[in-house]
Amino acid sequence: MLSIIVPARNEERQIETCVRSLLAQRYLHFEVIVVNDRSDDATGAILARLAGEDSRLTVVHGDALPDGWIGKPWALAQGARIARGDWLLFTDADTTHEPLAASSALQHAAQYGAQALSLLTTQRFETLAERAVLPSILWLIAFAVGSLDAINDPRRADAAIFNGQYILFERAAYDALGGHGAVRSRIAEDYEFARLLKRDGRFRGRLAGASDLVYTRMYRSLREIWDGFSKNLYVAAHDNPAQAFAGLIALAAFSPLPEALLASALVKRQRTRALRMAAVIVATSAAAEFAMRRSRFPAGSGAFFPLGAAAMLAIFVNSARQHRAGRVRWRGRAYEGRAARAPKPLDPYGRGHH
């Protein structure tokens, strides 16, 4: 049996599409559990209506956030607490699933002997802000993490990442690792789960492309992009200022440093230097276009690469500022921003921590 668990906090604009796509899965034995994480919009009313239409949907009314927990891990832990499945699928409310998605993911996990499988969902970009900024940010993150071969190599503990939009866990492995209690204080719980699984060594994890089986529309405006990535970009630096500084230098080399040097050459009427810098910018954008097309981003994404890289640099600086100051905010909640030390073992479902 498969239990599909969705955290939902103020998701009125997309929760119905997500839930209906999950209920349409072509799989014999499954349940859908949506944890309404104290939403104050129409999310609760939409879920109540859907639950009345289909008995396979269970709506959990989330408890208050305990001390030491981040909102998303807490919501998912509450869903896992009542789940009956041998496999647990944790997926976000902004995803849409094709009917064969779950069965394909389970078959893929079985084929590779994986106890945990995360999918790189197909991203949808509709507004100009999404098309101009998101492809570059997502591709640069993937570039920094490394290839799928490295990520899927159990010997490469340094290359570990999951996509929190879609993580499938065998129940026994999930419980043995401590469930979401093991990553309860982590802003980027998906990233930490991947690292935990590789360090543990008992189970095999895998990251794979979703091949148009699962779609995600992450953010819809520059404000949402700014807030969403500000909460977790600095996490990749492990709260290490030296590593963060190196990342900033690398990003600046992509953009805006070449553009600044081009502007300076034009002002000073240094024609040869200006042509060289323009060639660097064009070559970088062309290389990014080629790489992003291979990664199945929309055609033309490379043309926006200088803008996207500069935006990522600014967001990274803001993320570092928030985390170092301990003022990370997300979905109306304030969190301690510094990366916590590894939590002590905890009941994987968070019982007794109110």
Looking at residue 347, what is its pLDDT? 40
Provide the percentage of residues in the chain whose pLDDT is more than 90: 75
| pLDDT score recorded for residue 337 | 47
Answer CATH for 2-126+145-219 from 3.10.20.600, 3.40.718.10, 3.90.550.10, 3.40.710.10: 3.90.550.10
Dihedral over alpha carbons 30, 31, 37, 39 (to 10 degrees): 110
Kindly report whether the peptide bond that precedes residue 154 is cis, defined as omega within 30 degrees of 0. no
| Domain boundaries along the sequence of the chain | 2-126+145-219
Q: pLDDT category, 239, cuts 50, 70, 90?
A: low
Q: For 60-81, how does the pLDDT look when each residue is reduced to its tens digit (9 = 90+)?
A: 999 999 999 999 999 999 999 9
Q: What share of the chain is helix, strand, coil (3-state, %, to 5)?
A: 50, 15, 35
- pLDDT tens digits, one per residue of 78-122: 999 999 999 999 999 999 999 999 999 999 999 999 999 999 999
How far is residue 195's CA from residue 200's CA, in Å, rounded to a whole number?
A: 9
Least confident of 92-101, 133-142, 243-252, 329-338: 329-338
Q: How many CA atoms lie within 13 A of 323 on its CB side?
A: 27
Phi, psi of 73 (to 5 degrees): -55, -35
**Token digits for 296?**
């199945």
Within 231-304, residue ranges assigned H as helices are: 241-254, 257-267, 271-294
Does the pLDDT of residue 350 top 50, yes or no? no
Residues in contact with 260: Cβ distance below 8 Å, sequence separation at least 6, in sequence order: none
pLDDT single digits (tens) 198-238? 999 999 999 999 889 999 999 989 999 999 999 888 887 66
Contacting residues for 140 by C-beta, under 8 A, at least 6 apart:
251, 254, 308, 309, 312
Report how far apart, in Å, the C-alpha atoms of 70 and of each of 148, 331, 352 are: 28, 11, 16
Q: What is the pLDDT of residue 209?
A: 92
Whether 296 contacts 317, CB under 8 Å = no
Residues in the chain: 354
CB atoms within 10 A of CB 177: 22
- Structure confidence at residue 248 (pLDDT): 87
Question: How large is the average pLDDT for residues 143-147?
Answer: 82
- The DSSP letter of residue 24 is T
